[in-house]
Chain A
Amino acid sequence: MDFELTEEERRFREDLQRLLAQELPEWWRGMFVEDERVMPFTKRFCSELAERGWLTMAWPPEHGGQGASVWQQAVLREEMWAADEPRGPQYMNLNYIGPLIMRFGTDAQKSRFLPPMARGEVIWCQGFSEPEAGSDLASLRTRAVADGDRFVINGQKVWTSYADSPAEWCLLLARSDPEAEKHRGISVFLLDMATPGVTVRPIATMAGPHEFNEVFLDDVVVGRDCLLGELHRGWDVVVTGLTFERVGIARYARAGRVIEMLVEHVRRTGRDSEPEVMDKLADLRVRYEAARLLNYVAISIQARGEVPTTEASVARIHNTQLEQLVGHVGLELLGAAGQLTHDDPASPLGGEIWRQWVRNIPTTVAAGTLEIQKNIVARALGLPRPA
């Protein structure tokens, strides 16, 4: 048991912080703002990381990585999420879409899809949820019908993050065998978003643009070479991918950054010795410690080469609720002025706390709702399945 990063990992964090101080433009406020500079910047930033070998540092060398430790990767995720994820949508490539292709892909798929990811040149999105398939993802209805060497896909996806960024590729789930038991008839496709029949329609959200889209698929033709993993066995890919995804984001790191901002703010405004203020900030800090440690527990299991299913869900239960609580308590500490959004020049802390609150309203819904996470843990506890 060791709760400390190595000297090398700590130095890497300092290097990253220097790079961020250098590269992050003054206007950078994350992805979900109406600003044409945002997506080009995230691509430039990813290329910058790639040049330094940091973009895919945890990938194995044969796929353009350095086989860096999971802990270096964790440091990278922490610094990126704390800085509003300047890698943009590409964090998904690195955390799980790439690793899924490594794990389930053919040699041809690996050499076709991984190098552009490693260079930081390509945005992927994830076509999972459908209007009638949210928590019950396996009931999805988008159909893939085999037609010789190709599949013809029809259906609709929704809540697809970054599809309008625009994403060049999509990790798409579709039902390939409608007769089979619902988990046994799903396949995963690597879909070129430029394929005829793909239509993206952005969904305006409380947080701003780029967050969510609908994706319509009308007679979209995909070659068999873009089937990931075995036909009809896509659910195995999904389960592995969701496990990667659950610890793929260092949510506690952003929460920790916002807590620091709040500490600074109450100092500046002379409220740092009010007992209630101290109590609230300390409570956030304690929960931050807990969320961070539980992510580290899951990462420690990954470091042993195992898949931390339950631990990832427990970590996510803590991390998502922490991100929400930090926003709520943060706005409470700002008082009435907390109502000013980041579009108002008088918004305290540049609207960062408003953003923390509003962005995290759907955090306990995405990537498996809080209730679904709890169901996963309930099974691990040995509790009987619901009727």
Chain B
Amino acid sequence: MDLTLSSDQEMLVDSARRFLTRSWPAEAVRAAETSADGHDPKAWSEAAGLGWPGLCLPAEHGGSGAGMVELALLAEELGRAAFSSPLLAQTTLVALPLAWEGNAAQRTRWLPALAGGELIGSAALVAPGARDERSSPPLEGRRSGDGWVLSGSRVLVPFAAVSSLLVVLADLEGAGVSMLVVEAERIAALSRQQALGGDPMYAVSFHGTVVGTGDVIGRPGSGAALFARALDHATVASVSYGVGLGERALELSVSHACDRHQFGRPIGSFQAVAHRCVDMRADLDAARWLARQAAWALDKAGASGESAAPAGAPAAVAGASGESAAPAGALEVAAAKAYANDALRRVFLNAHQVHGAIGFSLEHDLQLFTRRAKAFELSLGDTVQHRRRVAEAMGLGRSR
């Protein structure tokens, strides 16, 4: 047990913070938000130069071979800067599934380009009207010759307009639920959505998109488990990003509480204000370490060759008392997201309360983080759902 950063991890964090402070000030966040596609190609290519898109990918495909712990540490820094990029979704929902289960042709074709940042990948996972990614019914795939014709559409697809490939989940007639990688040219239509979080979001129609076995990642019909594993990775990365958002909100709050004077004193000298900042610190530290623990658990499960989400393992097989029925890392991931959803809500309530009226103005930076934190909470599973997963991993919910 050692909950400190190695010197390599410290270096990663330091260099990320230096780069983001220099190259990604709040003006850049605002510029990206008002640009046509919400994407800053210059910042993206600089990030690629630092090796970020390939951070967790295997070295043989142009990556650095680091793990989720490193991605989580990087994600905290990205959140702290409100860095807008496809990086986290691309890594966890596109590149890692390809690295885990993609065939040789897919890996060769996509991974080096994704790792180098030359190609952008995203994932189209939320069905219109669905509660979230996990509860979305897959797209439909009807048999047609050697392949399938897809129908259905997805919403809240980040960076779809600049993505060369999209990962989707589809129920393929005769094969079952499968994870597919689809090139952008084959998408029927996409349209920009107005979302609160700052990342450019799109509605994407897959009606008539033709796919074949060569587009399936892994074995056809094995998509549910692969998808669950990828989602767990995406969830952890997003929690770390969320912690970073909160971290900046805390920095802004402390600095405001020191500078702002009322009654002849800095407002931070009032305990009512100071303790709100401390509550933010305590919430963020807990969320941070829950996320890091989850990242570590996923790395460990990956290294031992154990799938983080064994297909359809019935909960009952673990017996009455064990927690072992849960996929490796499931409890840790769900705990992190469940805690962080609530914690970030509290953190941003506190941040706005400490800031007073100025925090509500668009000229102040706080709102950049507030909006992203709410988008974080509403993505990848709500609190109730993740607490349910924790409960199931604890062995509850079996007597129905």
Contact = CB atoms under 8 A, between A and B. Distances in A.
B271 A272 contact: no
B336 to A, nearest CB: 8
B29 interface: no
A300 B399 contact: no
A1 B3 contact: yes
10 contacts: A1-B296, A9-B1, A282-B390, A290-B290, A291-B286, A294-B286, A300-B1, A382-B258, A383-B254, A386-B270
Given A300-B3, A386-B271, A281 B277 contact: no
Contacts of B321: 264
Contact of B269 (A6, A9, A293, A384): A384
B4 A300 contact: yes
A314 interface: yes
Interface residues of B, number: 55
B2 A285 contact: no
A317 B279 CA distance: 9
A383 B257 contact: yes
A277 B396 contact: yes
B398 A3 contact: no
Contacts of B399: 267, 270, 272-273
Contact of A317 (B282, B287, B292): B282
A286 B293 contact: no
B20 to A, nearest CB: 21
Nearest to A69: B1
B9 interface: yes
A285 B396 CA distance: 12
B387 A283 contact: yes
B338 interface: yes
Contacts of A267: 320, 395-396, 399
Interface string B309-333: 0000000000011000000000110
Q: Which 7 A-B pairs have the closest CB atoms?
A: A278-B391, A290-B286, A282-B390, A282-B387, A293-B289, A282-B391, A383-B268
A36 interface: no
A2 B2 contact: yes
A285 B335 contact: yes
Contacts of A386: 269-271, 274
Contacts of A6: 1
Interface in B377-396: 384, 387-388, 390-392, 394-396
Interface in B272-300: 274-275, 277-279, 281-282, 285-287, 289-290, 292-293, 296-297, 300
A71 B2 CA distance: 9
Interface in A49-69: none
Nearest to A377: B278
Interface string A293-325: 110110111011000000000100110000000
Nearest to B285: A314
Contact of A314 (B270, B282, B388): B282
A297 B1 CA distance: 10
B214 interface: no
Contacts, number: 168
Given A1-B296, A270-B399, A375 B271 contact: yes
Given A1-B9, A71-B1, 18 more contacts: A1-B69, A267-B320, A267-B399, A272-B396, A273-B396, A273-B399, A289-B335, A293-B289, A294-B285, A296-B1, A374-B274, A374-B278, A377-B282, A381-B274, A381-B281, A383-B269, A384-B266, A385-B269
Nearest to B395: A263
B396 A281 contact: yes
Interface in A253-294: 263-264, 266-267, 270, 272-273, 275, 277-279, 281-283, 285-287, 289-291, 293-294
Given A3-B296, A290-B290, A279 B387 contact: yes
Interface in A138-175: none
Contacts of A264: 321
B394 A371 contact: no
B31 interface: no
A335 to B, nearest CB: 18
A387 interface: yes
B281 A377 contact: yes
Contact of A371 (B5, B271, B282): B271
A233 B73 CA distance: 41
B361 interface: no
B339 interface: yes
Contact of B3 (A266, A282, A297): A297
Contacts of A272: 396-399
A206 interface: no
A5 B269 contact: no
B265 interface: yes
B35 interface: no
Given A267-B399, A318-B282, A4 B277 contact: no
A291 B293 CA distance: 13
B42 interface: no
Contacts of A21: none
A337 interface: no
Given A2-B2, A293-B3, A383-B257, A286 B289 contact: no
* B293, B321, B331, B395: residue with the most chain A Cβ atoms closer than 10 Å: B293
Contact of B397 (A278, A301, A304, A375): A278
A381 B398 contact: no
A378 interface: yes
Contacts of B266: 384
